Amino acid sequence: MPPQPSFLPMNKFFLRCAIYWCLLPISWAQAGVVIGGTRFIYHAGAPALSVPVSNHSEASWLIDTHILPGGRWPGTKNEGNITPFVVTPPLFMLSARQENSMRVVYTGAPLPADRESLFTLSIAAIPSGKPEANRVQMAFRSALKLLYRPEGLAGNPQQAYRHLIWSLNPRWRDGTQSDTLLRYALFITR
C-alpha cells in the first residue's frame, strides 16, 4: 500500500470545519409564526374558511391580514381594489406559544360561476418591539393564494392539467404558451 500524503488529514479537518461553519447559522434561525398552508380554497356555500396561525417563539407577534384581488401572480389581472372577502380578525396579537385561527368570510358580492377566482391572502407577522443586543428583528409579509371555487364546476380539479394544450410562441420569454381555457386555476413552476 503506497504511503498517503501527510496533508490529507489536514484537508479533512478543514473540510469538516468549513461544513460546521456553514451549518452553524441554521441553529440560530427560527420561525416565529407559522401559517397552516400555502394556498387555500374557499368552496362556494361554505360559511367560512379557517386559516390556522401558530406562534412557536417566546415573543409576541402582531398579525395583520387583508385580501387583495388577483395579486402579483404571473398572468393574473387585478379587477379593482374591492374583494368579496373579509378576514376576521384583521389585526390581532399572537402571544408566545399560542395558536389562533383566522376566518375568511365571503360577503356575497358576485363572482364568476363558470371558473375559479384567484385572490391573495396577505399576512404580515410583526415581532414585538423589545430591543435586544446583537439581534435583528424582521417583519415578514406572506402572500398566499386564495381560490374561490364555485359550486357545480365540471370536471375534476386534480385532473385539470391533462386538458392543457401547449404551442410554441417565439415572442414569449419561454417560447411556449397555453391558450387552453380552464375552469380551475393551475400554477405551473419550473
83 and 44 within one domain? yes
Range of the domain at 189: 154-190
| pLDDT string in tens for the chain (190-residue length) | 565 555 556 678 888 878 877 776 655 556 689 999 999 999 999 999 999 999 998 889 999 999 998 867 766 776 677 899 999 999 999 999 999 999 999 999 999 998 889 999 999 999 887 667 777 777 889 999 999 999 988 888 888 778 777 777 777 666 666 666 666 666 666 5
Report the pLDDT value the prediction gives residue 129, as an integer from 0 to 100: 76
Report the pLDDT value the prediction gives residue 87, as an integer from 0 to 100: 97
Q: Assess if residue 43 is contained within a domain.
A: yes
Report the pLDDT value the prediction gives residue 133, as an integer from 0 to 100: 72
Q: Assess if residue 125 is contained within a domain.
A: yes
Q: Assess if residue 108 is contained within a domain.
A: yes
Report the pLDDT value the prediction gives residue 61, as an integer from 0 to 100: 92
Nearest of 97, 28, 94, 27 to residue 57 by alpha carbon: 97
pTM as predicted: 0.72
Report the pLDDT value the prediction gives residue 168, as an integer from 0 to 100: 75
Asked if residue 61 lies in contact with residue 125, where contact means CB atoms within 8 angstroms, the answer is: yes
- Exposed/middle/buried for 76, CB within 10 Å: 0-12, 13-18, 19+? middle
Number of domains in the chain: 2
Distance CA 81, CA 3 (A): 74
Q: Assess if residue 64 is contained within a domain.
A: yes
Q: Assess if residue 119 is contained within a domain.
A: yes
167 and 87 within one domain? no
112 and 82 within one domain? yes
45 and 134 within one domain? yes
Nearest of 107, 104, 126 to residue 37 by alpha carbon: 104
Q: Assess if residue 12 is contained within a domain.
A: no
130 and 41 within one domain? yes
Q: How do strand 140-149 and strand 39-43 relate by DSSP bridges?
A: parallel
Report the pLDDT value the prediction gives residue 152, as an integer from 0 to 100: 87
